[in-house]
Amino acid sequence: MNSLCHALDITQRRRYEEQLVELANHDPLTGLPNRNRFHQELQGHLDRCRRYGLTGAVLMLALSRSRGISLATTVPATHFWRSLTGVVTPVPDPAGVIGELVARVSGFGALQRFLDDPEVEEIWINDPSRVFVARSGRHELTNVILSRAEVQELVDGVLAAHPGELRVTPGKFVHEIQPKIDWNKGRAVEHLLEVLDLRGPGYLPVYLGDDVTDEDAFRAPSIADGGLGVLVIDPSDAPTRETAASAVIPDVDGVARFLDALGR
């Protein structure tokens, strides 16, 4: 009697599958359960409560900066000692890991390293994928790429770090963070006209803007009653935009032609 056996070693494939499951449910940096795992566990508890008539609660902890830094230094240290036993893979740059954890837990994420850099004078975000810093008066494009959600988290973080001191005005493509005082672009226009002594029949104040935050300037008395407020807006967006401006220009080329005509 003859027989034919075929064996296939799937050890490596099973290992890859286990690694994929691990990555899907744990933070790759810390090894801690991630949001996906949290939702799985929460749903499981809710299902058991519904099935057996149980009750439960979700405990949420807000970590202070000092507690966050303590965790950020403890986790890599624990990982290091576990790596000596071969249970986990060693981390090649523990100091870098600690820095990233501190930024994640208690700082301002990817921007924290620039905030900690004494040579950085200014940080600004032109676009989530274009983050700039200034050193010695010269600007440079960083390699930081953010999502719009991360930009919103940064704005929320700044406001949370200064409770009651700041306010945010969402614009078309910007988040304007300002001191929580009675001041806006309209008041700035009135102030400039006053200190520069540009009032009187020989002057026509003109204000051009394309953002919702410019509406305060369009409503300023010197612009609304005796000047010219010009909204720069795409004609397709104009029907849905309420404005106090008295004129509309469709694009930046139109602005250039308008200013050129004024200069003649």
Beta bridge mates, 133: 123, 140
Q: Is 174 exposed, middle or buried (0-12, 13-18, 19+ CB in 10 A)?
A: middle
Between 123 and 223, name the one with better pLDDT.
223
Confidence check: pLDDT of 69 > 60: no
Confidence grade of residue 104 (pLDDT, cut at 50, 70, 90): low
Between 170 and 140, name the one with better pLDDT.
140
- CA distance to 195, 231, 239, per residue, from 242 (Å): 31, 11, 8
**Per-residue pLDDT at 144:** 87
Q: Which residues of 34-62 are buried (b: 16+ CB within 10 A; e: fewer)?
A: eeeeeeeeeeeeeeeeeeeeeeeeeeeee
Inter-residue contact 212 to 172 (CB < 8 Å):
yes
Confidence check: pLDDT of 1 > 80: no
Confidence check: pLDDT of 245 > 90: yes
The whole-chain average pLDDT of the chain stands at 78
Inter-residue contact 247 to 228 (CB < 8 Å):
yes
Q: Is 235 exposed, middle or buried (0-12, 13-18, 19+ CB in 10 A)?
A: exposed
Confidence grade of residue 60 (pLDDT, cut at 50, 70, 90): low
Q: What share of the chain has pLDDT > 70, as a percent? A: 72
**Per-residue pLDDT at 65:** 47
Is residue 212 a part of any domain in this protein? yes
**Per-residue pLDDT at 2:** 64
Please count the structural domains in the chain: 2
- Out of 42-51, 75-84, 103-112, 122-131, least confident range: 75-84
Task: Report the residue count for the chain.
Answer: 264
Range of the domain at 247: 185-263
**Per-residue pLDDT at 190:** 94
The tens digit of pLDDT for each residue in 2-55 reads 666 767 777 777 777 777 777 777 766 556 677 777 778 878 877 887 788 776
For residues 229-255, average pLDDT: 91
Is residue 26 a part of any domain in this protein? yes
> Taking the C-alpha atoms of 245, 251, 254 and 260 in order, what is their torsion angle to the nearest 10 degrees?
90
The tens digit of pLDDT for each residue in 71-102 reads 555 555 566 666 666 666 776 666 666 566 66
Confidence check: pLDDT of 171 > 70: no
Pairing of strands 138-141, 130-135: antiparallel
Is residue 205 a part of any domain in this protein? yes
Inter-residue contact 186 to 214 (CB < 8 Å):
no
Location of structure tokens 């940096």: 29
Is residue 224 a part of any domain in this protein? yes
Is residue 52 a part of any domain in this protein? yes
Is residue 209 a part of any domain in this protein? yes
Is residue 160 a part of any domain in this protein? no
Confidence check: pLDDT of 184 > 90: no
